[in-house]
Structures are given as C-alpha cells and as structure tokens.
Amino acid sequence: MPARLLSSVAVFQEARRLSPRIARIRWERPGHRLHQPNLPGAASTSRPHMSHQGTLARSAGVVAFFTLLSRILGLVRDMVVAYAFGSGAHADAFFVAFRIPNLLRRLVAEGALTASFLPVYTDTLENRSPEEAQRVVRITFTLLSVSVALISLAGVVFSPWVIQAFAPGFRTDPDKFHLAVSLNRIVFPYLFFISLVALCMGILNAQGHFAAPAASPVLLNVAMIAGALGLSRWFDPPIYGLAVGVLAGGLLQLFLQIPPLAARRIRFGFVFSLRDPAVNRIGRLFLPAAFGAAVYQLNTLVSTIFASFLPEGSVSYLWYAGRLLEFPLGVFGMALAIAAFPRLSQETSRGDEERFRQILEESLRMVTFVMVPATIGLVVLAKPIVQVLFQRGEFDPATTVGTTKALVWYCVGMWPIAASRILVSAFYSLQDTATPVRLSVVSFAANVAFSLVLMGPMAHAGLALANSLAAAVNVAQLLSRLRVRTGASGLGWFRSSGPRILIAGAAMGLCLMAARTLTEAAPGTPLPRQILLLLGAIFGGALVYGLACAVLGVPEIHMALDRIRRRVGRRSQTNHP
C-alpha cells in the first residue's frame, strides 16, 4: 500500500511543477484514439523525472500510517460499540440516526465536493493568480457552509419525518422511533462540520499537504470510543453519549485542519457569487457527481429501510457486517482507486492511450490479486472473526450468528465494489461523470428488486446478497461501457492471470476450511487463545496463497517480491555505505 500511496502523492507534487494548461481531452470514436488539442510543445511531451524521492516517501509514509491507524481504530471503535450496546433497540436506533448524516457526508462532502472542487482549484492554483485561487476558496466556502447549515437545520427540525422516511418499520415500536428521532437531532449537525473538513482536505491535498487530512478520521474514531466508554455514563439511555461523541469528532476533525491552512495563508471568508467561471465549472461537475454518489449511497440505504421491517437486530447485523467489509475495501480497494485516479487523469491529459490502458489493467489486476484471497478468507473465517472482534458484553452469540450471515453474503460483492471504484475513476479521468450516474440508476433498481425478492426467504442476509448482486450488475455495465467508449475493457490480463489467482485462492480456502474448526471458539475459550488461533489461520492462509501464486507464476506476487528486495537492498546500502 505505501507504494501505491507514493504514486498518488507523486502525481499531486508533479502536477504542481507542471505549469502548462491542461486542455480538454476527448476520445475519438472510430479508432478509439486519444485526441489532444494542439498545445505548445505537445508533440514532445516528456515524462518528468521523479525528484525529491525522500520527500515523497515521507509524505506517502505519513498517509499510509494514518490510513492504517484509522482503520485499526475503526475496528476498535466497532468492538467498543458492540460491547456496550450489542444489537438491541438502542443500537438499531443509533445506527439509523448516524447513517443519515453519514450518508449525506459521503454524498456531498467526500463524494461530489472532492470530485468537483479539487481539479478546478488545482487548475486555478497552477494557471492563475493566488488571489483568484483564494477567491475560489472563499466562494466555495460560502456556498458550502450556507447550504449545509440549512440542510443540517432542516434535518434537526424535521427529524421525525426523516426517521419515518429512512426507517419506516420503526413506527411499530414507538420507543425505538422516538429514540432514533432524538439521536438524529444530536448527530445531524455533524454533517456541517465534516463538510467543511472535506473542503479543507481538498485545499490541503492540492497544496501537497497530506498529513492532517489523512489523520482526520482518527479523531472521529477516538471521539466515538470516548463517547461509548466515557460520556455514556452521564446519559440515560447511555447511547446518547455515543451520539455526542460523533458530534465532538466532527468538530475535532475541523480543528485539526486549521493549523496547516493557516501556515499556507488560507483565509476563509464570505464571498457570494454564482457567476464566477471557476465556481460554474465546479457546479457543472458537482451535480452529476452528486447524483451518482446519491444513487450509490441509496443502495446501502435501501438495506436499512427494508431491515427496519425485519426482526429487532437486523439493522445492527447489517451495520457490523458492513463495517467488517469496509476494512479490506478501505485499506486496499479504495487505496488502489485513489492511486489510479490521478495517474489515469495524467495519461488522459497527455493523450497516451496505451499508458491509460496499462494503468487501468494494472489496477484491476491488483484489485483481483488482493480481493480474491480477502473474499475467500472473510467467507471461510466469518464466524471466528466476528467472535474475536465483537462477541462480548451486549454482543451475544445470537448476534454473532446474525452478523456472520450478513458478512458472508456481503463478501460476494467485494470484488465488484472494489473494481467499480477504479472503473468510475477511469470515467472521471475522461471528464465523464454522466455515464457512471446513468449506470448506477440501473444498479439501484436492481438492488431494490433483489431486496424485495430475497428478504422474505433470507431475512437480513438476503438484503446483503442483494447489495452484492447489484454491485455485480454495476461493474458489468461499467466494463461494457468503458470498452465501447475507449476500446479498453481492462480485463485483457484475465485469461493469463485470472485462473491462476482463482486456483491459488481455492488452495488457500481449502486450508482455511481445515483450520476453521480450531478457530471457532467454544464457550469459555480465553480471548488471547482465540486471537492467536485466528491470526495463525490468517497468516497460514496468506502463506499458502503466496506460495501457490509463486508456483503458478502469478505476476503480481513476483512484483511484490521484487519490490521487497529493492527496499531491503536500499536499506542495506544505507546501513553499510
């Protein structure tokens, strides 16, 4: 992962050194060739040599450290919440209340805002005056803060109707419904703080600062842990303490961005203008990106709505399982997508079709190489993983069974979800935000249909499977449309590497199935023993997968080994000059 993050950081820092304007790029239909308008020196465009390797490595190391720390603390947070609140009515109410502003955060703040603001701000920063870049910041801050403040106020005032819309099944339990309304009123202002955080993160990333944005999620996890273990003692019911922790986490994340912004002389202020050309460009990119993100997030929301009609605990089962699924998707899948996006955009701007295809195929190969064993491992070891991480306190064996069922069926969609993030990045690099939106509407409709069919016979597990099937529909559409658009399917490598990766994954799965009886904890098994057995199975499975890939000649394993050898060689040269 550090190498991938290094490439992502490198692109941002290279972009700051390259001053020529980046022209709009289009793909020519007949030959699927990249067309680049005439630019001074375009014919002799050369790839700049990567300099300042030490600085880049340190920046990537900081991002990698905080990303991994955030994911680990996220798991600790979920363990604490599971211990304190389990899967009862209070937990169901909180997860619904928190999901609503969190969904809007992913939609407005981290989704559409990032996709629209960052490229426009970067272009203004590089090709215009600092005063114009500062003006873009202030106008965006004004429009964002006012609009999100109004949305947050509406969410608080109309909270009963919001909960009615997002969890209609709660109406049959008045106590749960009213608790969800109260919790929603506490956590909804979190949207205001985190939206401003997203704007700050975009500004800092464009200026080559990655530490504070990368560390930001750590503070939310710490605040929620403190809310669950500390603040909850001062509230009745205790779940209110967790909600206050969410609000405090949003505020802390915003405070963290202030020092690096001040060091770069970024000053926020209110400047209202709807006619600024840069802001109009942001708006044109924002609307389709927001709609596409909305459809994607609605896929997760559909499960919550339908689960509210199922027996108590169903919402919590899906929440805990989804959190476990997000760990490999966030650490590996999202990291690859983040690294691929600027590289794909760079090759598009240069008109290099061949490099575009190579980067796309490389990204999808790496996703497959990582997600196949991750999927098999999570499916086979689902129950012992849930037991070790969650089964204590209010999280009883029945909750373990419910969460395990959801996790297994969520895992079916792990590769489609990770691959779709890369494919969407490919469309965005072509400045095409409309196609992913249209395709995501079909995926959403498929999710609703699958949910209605499967929730009857399979209960909440059917909702998890419906999400996975909808993700498969989406990735199939994206692959097909990208092939029509560019002539690059991204799967040219599959005939050679795909079967070998699947065979290696199957070998790993068989070994894990043999070891599973040892990892499933009997009642009374000490936690340290459970952890050791589970870690032994995981490391053993990873070793089998790596050896099988090496024997079968999977290219990715040799690339990883070569990278390790180079790092060891550099360290030995440093230690022995």
Domain residue spans in the chain?
1-17+54-298
Residue spans of alpha helices (H) in 18-129: 53-85, 89-104, 114-127
* DSSP secondary structure letter of residue 275: -
The pLDDT, as a whole number, for residue 565 is: 61
Q: Which residue is listed with tokens 């899948």?
A: 333
Closest CA to 512 of 345, 384, 369: 384
Other Cβ atoms less than 10 A from the Cβ of 298: the count is 18
Q: How far apart are CA 267 and CA 209, in angstroms?
A: 16
Alpha-carbon dihedral sign for residues 298, 301, 303, 306: negative
DSSP state of 28: E
With left for phi above 0 and alpha for psi between -120 and 50, is residue 487 left, alpha or beta? left
**Secondary structure of residue 33 in the 3-state scheme:** strand
Place of tokens 């009997």: 522
**Pair of tokens at residue 36:** 């680049």
Give the per-residue pLDDT at 304. Answer: 85
Quote the DSSP letter at residue 137: H
CA distance 359 to 365: 10
8 Å CB contact between 500 and 552: yes
Closest listed residue to residue 80, CA positions, set 184, 223, 215: 223
Give the Cα separation of 289 and 434 in Å (integer): 8
What pLDDT score does 63 carry? 63
End-to-end CA distance of the chain: 28
Rounded CA-CA distance 284/280 in Å is: 6
Low-confidence ranges of the chain (pLDDT < 50): 1-57, 60, 577
* Cα 112 from Cα 120, distance rounded (Å): 13
Task: Note the pTM of the prediction, 2 decimals.
Answer: 0.71
Contact (CB, 8 A) for 289 and 116:
yes
pLDDT at 162: 92
The predicted pLDDT at position 318 comes to 93
Read off φ and ψ for residue 100, nearest 5 degrees: -70, -60
- What number of residues does the chain have? 577
What confidence score (pLDDT) does residue 561 get?
A: 66
Which are the contacts of 483, defined by CB distance < 8 A and separation ≥ 6? 489
**What is the pLDDT at residue 521?**
60
Integer Cα distance of 469 and 180 in angstroms? 30
SS3 13: helix
